[in-house]
Structure 1
Amino acid sequence: MSSAKRVQQWATFGRMWYLFDAKWQNPFDSAEAIVKVLSGANKPIYSPRADCGDHVVVMNSFHIALPGAEWENRVYYHHTGYAKGASWTLAHQVHEKDPTMIMRRAVYSALGGFLTRHARMRRLHIFSDDQIPESILQNVNKQLQQLRQVPKRLDHYAEEEVANFPKVFDWPQDYVLNK
């Protein structure tokens, strides 16, 4: 076997490290893309029983975006194991307590109930901001593409761009909307 073939084979079977920026991303849509990488479904050698998945480092999980009124409507269930130990917590309360928990639970449920779920979850590394330890960051080889574009804030545009932006109505300068 040639050395080029060996390198290609190593790249196929070796574990890669992917970086995913969760800023302004829906965690439940992002979880499906992350699960493909964790399970190895993006590789040509994928088999449901084979453990060929890669590592995924998720950053900025504090800045996720839930659609609609999900912050008030989504409820997370937890049971302590004791009698009357059931509790339901709103998504925004869970996010205040632990910013990585919503993303972790989304990926956990997207993995399905297979025996390989816990091994795949160990290859998921979630950070609430962009401060990632150097020991993890040095392993990252590739980056997963964000599913939706991060919007640009109005105060980040230059005054010239705002002035040249096409207007729907060309109001006179002395016109006041609230008459």
Structure 2
Amino acid sequence: MKTFTPKSDDLTHDWYVVDATDVVLGRLATQVATLLRGKNKPTFAPHADSGNHVIVINAGKVALTGNKLGKELYSHSGRPGGLRRDTYAKLLTTNPERIITSAVRGMLPKNRLASVQMGRLHVFEGSEHPHTPQKPTIFEITQVSQQAK
């Protein structure tokens, strides 16, 4: 069996819109990470950049299960004393884009290709986005939070 290597003509970067309203954070992150890597395409290869652009709208309406509102999200600037920690409850009101971005980053591989794929993630708090000229297709996540019903 030979390893499939896509040519540069095979690599296309499609645009998708994902609505995060009442979708559990983990389910949203796995679907977005799959789209960013391009695993939904038949020409997928782990070493090739066949990923898509993903626009996540309504990031402020994402559902958090369990006791995640009290959980903290850490980041470090790399400078002495640069540790920053914020609770998910605070981030949900002030910066919900950071919650989704960190969840998706954790589900991508830890290599140089992941930073390129993270550059194709566009997260917006509201329902408006400036990427309408690219004509993105809507990607529907059918499983919504049971708590939101």
Shorter-chain TM band: 0.7 to 0.9
**Residue 141 of structure 2 corresponds to residue 146 of structure 1:** yes
Identity of aligned residues (%): 26
Q: Which AA in structure 2 matches 1:24? A: D
Q: Partner residue of 2:83?
A: 86
Q: Runs in 1 of length 4+ with deviation above 4 angstroms? A: none
Q: Are the structure 2 counterparts of residues 147 and 70 from structure 1 closer, same or farther at C-alpha, using a change threshold of 3 Å?
A: farther
Structure 2 CA distance for aligned equivalents of residues 87 and 148 of structure 1 = 33
Q: 1:70 aligns with which of 55, 68, 82?
A: 68
Q: 2:30 aligns with which of 17, 32, 38?
A: 32
Q: Where do 5+ consecutive residues of structure 1 fail to align?
A: 1-9, 155-179
Structure 2 CA distance for aligned equivalents of residues 103 and 61 of structure 1 = 7
Q: 2:11 aligns with which of 10, 13, 23?
A: 13
Contact 1:19 1:140 in 2 (8 A): no
Deviation at 1:40, TM superposition (A): 0.9
Q: What secondary structure is seen at the aligned counterpart in 2 of 1:125?
A: strand
- Residues 157-176 of structure 1 aligned to structure 2 (within 5 Å): none
Select the structure of larger CA radius of gyration.
1
- Give the aligned CA root-mean-square deviation in angstroms: 2.1
Residues 40-74 of structure 1 deviation map (CA, whole Å, 9 limit, x = unaligned)? 111111000111111111100010110022111x2
Compare relative contact order (CA 8 Å, sep 6+) and give the higher one, 1 or 2.
Answer: 2
Relative to its length, the structure with more helix (as a share) is 1
**TM-score if structure 2 supplies the norm length?**
0.83
Structure 2 CA distance for aligned equivalents of residues 82 and 124 of structure 1 = 26
Q: What secondary structure is seen at the aligned counterpart in 1 of 2:34?
A: helix
Q: What secondary structure is seen at the aligned counterpart in 2 of 1:102?
A: helix
Structure 1 CA distance for aligned equivalents of residues 124 and 32 of structure 2 = 15
Q: Which AA in structure 1 matches 2:80? A: A
**Residue 121 of structure 2 corresponds to residue 124 of structure 1:** yes
Aligned residue pairs: how many?
140
